[in-house]
Amino acid sequence: MSVSATDILPADAAGIARAARLLAAGRLVAFGTETVFGLGADATNATAVAAIFAAKGRPHFNPLICHYADAESAWSDVVPSEIALRLAAAFWPGPLTLVLPRRATSHVALLAGAGLDTLAVRVPQPASARALAAALARPIAAPSANRSGQVSPTSAAHVMASLGGRIDAILDSGACPVGLESAILDLTGGHPALLRAGGLPIEAIEACIGPVGRPISQAQAEAPRTLRSPGLMVSHYAPDLPVRLAAHHVDASEALLAFGPALPGAGLTFELSPAGDLTQAASRLFEGLRQLDEEGTRRGLVRIAAMPVPTRGLGLAINDRLARAAAPRST
């Protein structure tokens, strides 16, 4: 992604319209929320979502939060439980993210949800952020607008210092009033569970819906998945078929995940990027794993063989995800 100058757009009607046009064209726009600035892309555009990870320099693909203009729009991508409806009525727009089952009809790119059957959704408080999602008429996928390993930005100047020159524009709605990421509540299990403590206090959540499960430690609250071994990571999609890495040959009993020119002889092949483009490969990774897993299982193939992917740029995150997919399972 070669972006020369990053425009700072005022959060007025003209600025919002311009930001929405950029997002619709697959570009990256940082925007202010009440918590921290988000690095936004059209959530339904897998290539644009891949560009988020490239701009952040993230070595792994975290699932991203989808931002909506209102609760009704969010419910078109996820199935709200009765508790979700109650929380949304009480706290949206506001600093609460809900993890819910993804609808089969959702057009959100698989990469945005890291291939999971669930999606994290929220309705941000600032009118400009909601107007942006409304103008785009699609969800905005957005992690915090900082390079990987840096602290979350709470002003346009922070975003500029971290990502200036790497993104197209910043919609500047002023300093973020909460200044702390949203609280994330998982509503997909038997009991609501807090995955990340955040801008909405747990006491407020519990006053609304009763006791919720808490993260075991603050470290886990901040990085819910990194402390668990890959086989236990509930929030990572794992194929049913075993995965063999760094394949330099393949046979008819295997489903091939190809990068660059595909190896001959596989029982089934999915091409991540025939030209060897890492952004294209990232945008197709979860789709590829799912297709090979489902179709390969149907055809009685024994495993997925993944061709080597270079470890530069997004290749690092692709390799991280493949290594997790190939790790021994505990179940």
CA distance 179 to 177: 6
Residue 96 touches ligand TXA, criterion: CB under 6 A? no
List the one residue from 63, 80, 192, 288 that touches ligand TXA (CB under 6 A). Answer: 63
Residue 118 touches ligand TXA, criterion: CB under 6 A? yes
**CA-closest candidate to residue 100, choices 75, 77, 123, 119:** 119
Torsion-angle region of residue 26: left (phi > 0), alpha (psi -120 to 50) or beta? left
**Count of Cβ atoms closer than 10 Å to residue 331 Cβ:** 5
List the one residue from 19, 30, 35, 138 that touches ligand TXA (CB under 6 A). Answer: 35
Minimum CB distance to Mg ion, residue 288 (Å): 26
Nearer to Mg ion, 118 or 144 (CB): 144
Give residues 260-319 in contact with ligand TXA (rule: CB under 6 A). none
Segment interacting with ligand TXA, rule: CB under 6 A, options 3-11, 42-50, 75-83, 111-119: 111-119
Minimum CB distance to Mg ion, residue 185 (Å): 17
Alpha helices per DSSP H over the chain:
13-24, 46-56, 71-74, 82-91, 127-136, 156-163, 202-209, 218-222, 278-298, 315-326
Query: If contact means CB under 5 to 8 A according to the sort of partner, which of Mg ion, ligand TXA, none does residue 64 touch?
Result: ligand TXA
Minimum CB distance to Mg ion, residue 125 (Å): 18
Within 8 A by CB and 6+ apart from 270, the residues are: 255, 256, 257, 258, 284, 287, 288, 291, 292
The footprint of ligand TXA (CB under 6 A) covers: 33, 35-36, 38, 62-65, 97, 99, 113, 116, 118-120, 142-144, 181-182, 184, 195-196, 224, 235
